[in-house]
Amino acid sequence: MKILSKSIQLRSLFSSILLLISLTILGQSPTEQWRPSIHFSPKMNWTNDPNGLIFFKGYYHLFFQHNPKGNDWGNMSWGHARSKDMLHWEELPIAIPHGDEYIFSGCVVWDKEHVSGLGDPNKDLLVAIYTADYPNKKQEQHLAYSNDEGLTWKKYAKNPILDIQLLNFRDPNIIWHQASKQFVMSVAKPLERSVQFYGSKNLLNWELLSEFSNQGELDMIWECPSLVELPIAGKEQESKWVLFNSSQGVQKGFVGMQYFVGEFNGKTFINENPRETKLYVDFGKDFYAAIPFYQTATKDVLWLGWALSWQYAKEQPTYPWKGQMSSLRKLSLIDTQEGLRLKQEFQPDFNLVEPSFQAKDLSISKPKILSGIKLLQGKSYLIDLEVEESRGDRWGLRWQSLDNPQEYTLLVFDEIKKQWSIDRSHSGKILSPGFFKVDAANLVEGKPKHLKVLVDHSMLELLAQDGTVAISSLRFPLSSKENLSIFSENGKLDLKQITIWEVK
């Protein structure tokens, strides 16, 4: 893994120290103990959805919904950050500021052939297409372009590029569709639970191709759609199309994401499952509005999401920022007994570097504190754990506060219910009654009980069973120190191995 140059690190350390000193003088206490270090969060102020994800000229670019002036939703503009290694994020100046219109979610594409005819024909051209929101009036799709690798943007003089006179019409996401040689945009009509597809040769004129609606999860509005072709794991030549959107999640009343698997023929998306089938991306409450990168350094499809929930985002007790992004994850589909399912893998690949701790053939009968490594709260690490055999009823991991016996977080596999879960009902600060509802996902039959959990200060992300089970949950411990143990109740747990990578 490459590390950003020393001068950037020093500059960013210096500005963070200055920021902390000035905030302390202003009388508000920063909550840096909860700030993730390898996941992006803005230095100051509010963020929600990731926007305009693209790998371009050595950098992963992340634009994000941002309030440049406050720690709550408002003044929506596009913030900007970039990373060379997917672990260290460098925050850059505001990319697209709001005017009379709020700059809502959208995407960035590389106009490689200069088909739009915008900007300087001798320089690389990036095109951002996003929703312009005129509060309580209308939502239209607008365009802005950049000739300096996304640092500065010019709003297109002839905006809007797409307007169907709707109050709710948003979150355009664009791919290049090679077979039909056109750009294809997916865009949501949220109240109608519908995604429209538009085609264009020049990114300026868009023609309606088809509409996909009323399938899957319908209880809440649909937002942030994206259409992507995913490889099928283990069958390198095969792929399928997947349509994602943000909707109600697996728990009633909480937002989440769903997906549909099928075919896209350049005009229409055909869901290959019955229309009532509901497929959820993540079984936690803190994964929303994810979109794929327009392109990546390899052929891999990568994405990331907003790691928070609209149901309690306002309550996130962090200062001077609010909101953060999930880990980057590589996407593919994988065969299961129930059909093709989404597989997610953490990026970058930690297996490429030396672990900090490893134990093989471990047998757990009473709780074992992982003492080979000091896993205090306020650290970032990845745990990889493979089960050989489990004879207990429940086994898992427990993060236990050293100051307060009543404060702990549990990651459990329940052998009786055949269920994975994260229980944060005693994890410290409780933001909403939603924290008392355990986040649970059913066992995927036939897949190994192999789990990876990425811990980054306030964030816990579980990817288990070949990446078919995902649970992302935030927690806000009140104590400063904790230990981590493995436990198994009413029977032994044999582990093939446990490996931990600490991110220094």
**Rule CB under 6 A: which residues touch ligand FRU?**
48-49, 65, 76, 104-105, 131, 170-171, 223-224, 289
In one letter, which amino acid is 14?
Answer: F
Q: Which two tokens stand for residue 358?
A: 């490893």
Closest CA to 78 of 109, 49, 36, 55: 49
216 or 392, CB closer to ligand FRU?
Answer: 216
Amino acid at 446: G
76 versus 460: smaller Cβ distance to ligand FRU? 76
- Count other C-beta atoms under 10 Å from residue 270's C-beta: 12
Question: 49, 171, 384, 423: which is the annotated catalytic residue?
Answer: 49
Instruction: For ligand FRU, give the closer residue by CB, 66 or 177.
Output: 66
d(C-alpha 66, C-alpha 44), whole Å: 10
Task: Give the helix/strand (H/E) hosting 54.
Answer: strand 45-56
Strands 45-56 and 321-322: parallel
Q: Between 147 and 472, whose beta carbon lies closer to ligand FRU?
A: 472
286 part of the active site: no
CA torsion sign, 348 to 352 to 354 to 357? positive
Neighbour count for residue 359 (Cβ, 10 Å): 14
- Minimal distance, residue 208 CB to ligand FRU, in Å: 20
Provide, rounded to whole angstroms, the least separation between the CB of residue 247 and ligand FRU: 11
Q: Residue 325, Cα to own-chain centre: how many angstroms?
A: 6
3-state SS of 342-354 is EEEEEECCHHHCC
Which sign does the torsion angle of CA 293, 294, 297, 298 carry? positive
C-beta closer to ligand FRU: residue 105 or 215: 105
In the bound state with ligand FRU, the residue whose beta carbon lies nearer, of 289 and 383, is 289
C-beta of residue 456 within 8 angstroms of C-beta of residue 39: yes
Give least dist CB 306 to ligand FRU, A.
7
| Least distance in angstroms from the C-beta of 140 to ligand FRU | 12
Query: What number of other Cβ atoms are within 10 A of residue 357's Cβ?
Result: 16
User: C-beta of 11: minimal distance to ligand FRU in Å?
Assistant: 30
Least distance from ligand FRU to the Cβ atom of residue 386, Å: 36
Among the listed residues 431, 420, 380, the one whose alpha carbon sits nearest the alpha carbon of residue 396 = 420
The residues annotated as belonging to the active site are: 49
